[in-house]
Structure 1
Amino acid sequence: MQVNVIDRPRFYAKYGKRLLDIFISSILLPIIVLFMLMIAISLLIVSGRPIFFTQERTGLNYSNFQIWKFRTMRIDQIQKSKVNDWEGGVPEQFVFKNSQDTRMTGIGKLLRKLSLDELPQIINVLKGEMSLVGPRPEVPEITAYYNLEQSKRLYMKPGITGLAQINGRSNIPHGRKINYDIDYVENCSFLLDIKILMRTIRVVFSREGAY
């Protein structure tokens, strides 16, 4: 009988993922740092300060942490997340952002299209707050409304990429993202993580669902 990772984490989910995160991050770190330096200089020249955007997100088992991203919005348009009034969980058809967002700067749109605004999250990975692969971290204003089923996506560290990100990203509603995330939590494995990382490269270059 297969043991559900939600009830009892497998060895890889508990230990192996962290080793993989450290190994891959250490190899890619020099390249990532170079890209981050180039992006930071470009943002400083074109968009000014602040270069980085930090925001509280919900991590493993509802523990909150500060996520790092490159700023893609105009300073006067950065707002706190809207407080919702949902009952019974986050609505299945809820969509957090769309392609018509007018708050972004010109360079911000480019960074989001190529997912380069996410590069600073390597800091969160190295600190152990995130993993390379896992459910994307959501804001507490949304996770506070999770029902029991939706909260299962928080049984594993959030990731820079995940099943939802290679299957539609921002093009799919909250309900489908939840299904992908729970599927990942229940079936997490080394081979699945490698598959997601490889497919992420293709999705990023195709810019599918990125905005």
Structure 2
Amino acid sequence: MKSIFDFILALISFIAISPFFLILLVLVYLDTGGPFFKQKRIGKGEKVFFIYKLKSMKDIDEKRGLVSNIDRVTNLGRFIRNASLDELPSLLNILKGDMSFVGPRPLLIEYLPYYKEKHKIRHNVKPGLTGLAQINGRNQTTWEKRLDFDIEYVKKRNFLLDLKILFLTFWKVISKEGVESSVDLSIVRLDQDVEYQNK
């Protein structure tokens, strides 16, 4: 039932935003030279898939000094990240069945060897656009807490919980309540987080 709900909601959402989405694609293309950013992530059953997002950074250009991620983020890119508009293409991932609206966020494949055993059950369900960690501080919390929220979701997941998470995510995005700027590219990676590994 959740897969059917995800597909129908994603299809309706994609159709509803299509005029706005097409305009945004053109603006992003003119701003960065390409509308989409794709990256390998880990999904259900540790299956690798490509996640799609709107491109928010210019390509690496050493001659122009565009090397670090922070320098490459454009003004438009900063805006679409803060407004979570960069996530809109992930509706395609939901339509394809790689993702759900609610679930643990899909993380980099490089993180796979670094999970603690208790946190590996996050891959028992489809990853999501949002989840318990996203409505409880997101990157403002430690990796340990974020992954613990993923475990809690996997164990307690149900339709009413999904609706609650969706509502709170929408509220936090429009109110900016408890949602950090997603342009903060200095966040410690899981495979470099000594505190998490030593606990």
Which of the five TM-score ranges fits, normalised by the shorter chain? 0.7 to 0.9
Task: State whether residues 170 and 210 of structure 1, in contact with CA within 8 Å, keep that contact through their aligned partners in structure 2.
Answer: no
TM superposition shift of 1:129? 0.3
Amino acid aligned to 1:209: E
TM-score normalised by structure 1 residue count: 0.77
Task: State whether residues 32 and 56 of structure 2, in contact with CA within 8 Å, keep that contact through their aligned partners in structure 1.
Answer: no
The aligned residue for residue 55 of structure 1 is 39
The aligned residue for residue 159 of structure 1 is 128
1:209 to 148, 172, 180: 180
Amino acid aligned to 1:60: K
Amino acid aligned to 2:20: F
TM superposition shift of 1:197? 0.7
1:122 to 91, 94, 97: 91
TM superposition shift of 1:170? 2.0
Amino acid aligned to 2:181: A
Task: State whether residues 58 and 137 of structure 1, in contact with CA within 8 Å, keep that contact through their aligned partners in structure 2.
Answer: yes
Q: Does 1:37 align with 2:22?
A: yes
Question: Deviation string for 1:96-131 (max 9, x for gaps)?
Answer: xxxx94441111110110000000000000000000
Between 1 and 2, higher relative CO (CA 8 Å, sep ≥ 6) is seen in 1
SS of match in other structure, 2:53? strand
Q: Gaps (5+ residues) in structure 1?
A: 1-15, 78-99
Check 1:101–1:176 CA distance in 2 against 1; reply closer, same or farther (3 A cut): farther
Work out the CA distance in 2 between the residues paired with 1:118 and 1:44: 16
Check 1:48–1:72 CA distance in 2 against 1; reply closer, same or farther (3 A cut): closer
SS of match in other structure, 1:22? helix
Task: State whether residues 105 and 127 of structure 2, in contact with CA within 8 Å, keep that contact through their aligned partners in structure 1.
Answer: yes
CA RMSD of aligned residues (A): 1.6
Percent of residue pairs identical: 38
- Answer 1 or 2: which has greater helix percent: 2
Work out the CA distance in 2 between the residues paired with 1:126 and 1:132: 10
Question: Deviation string for 1:26-64 (max 9, x for gaps)?
Answer: 22121232232121111123x142210000000001100
Amino acid aligned to 1:67: I
Work out the CA distance in 2 between the residues paired with 1:44 and 1:57: 24
Work out the CA distance in 2 between the residues paired with 1:54 and 1:144: 22
Task: State whether residues 163 and 196 of structure 1, in contact with CA within 8 Å, keep that contact through their aligned partners in structure 2.
Answer: yes
Q: Does 1:191 align with 2:168?
A: no
Work out the CA distance in 2 between the residues paired with 1:72 and 1:143: 26
The aligned residue for residue 67 of structure 1 is 51
Work out the CA distance in 1 between the residues paired with 2:58 and 2:14: 28
Q: Gaps (5+ residues) in structure 2?
A: 62-68, 183-199
Task: State whether residues 59 and 72 of structure 2, in contact with CA within 8 Å, keep that contact through their aligned partners in structure 1.
Answer: no
Work out the CA distance in 2 between the residues paired with 1:170 and 1:136: 12
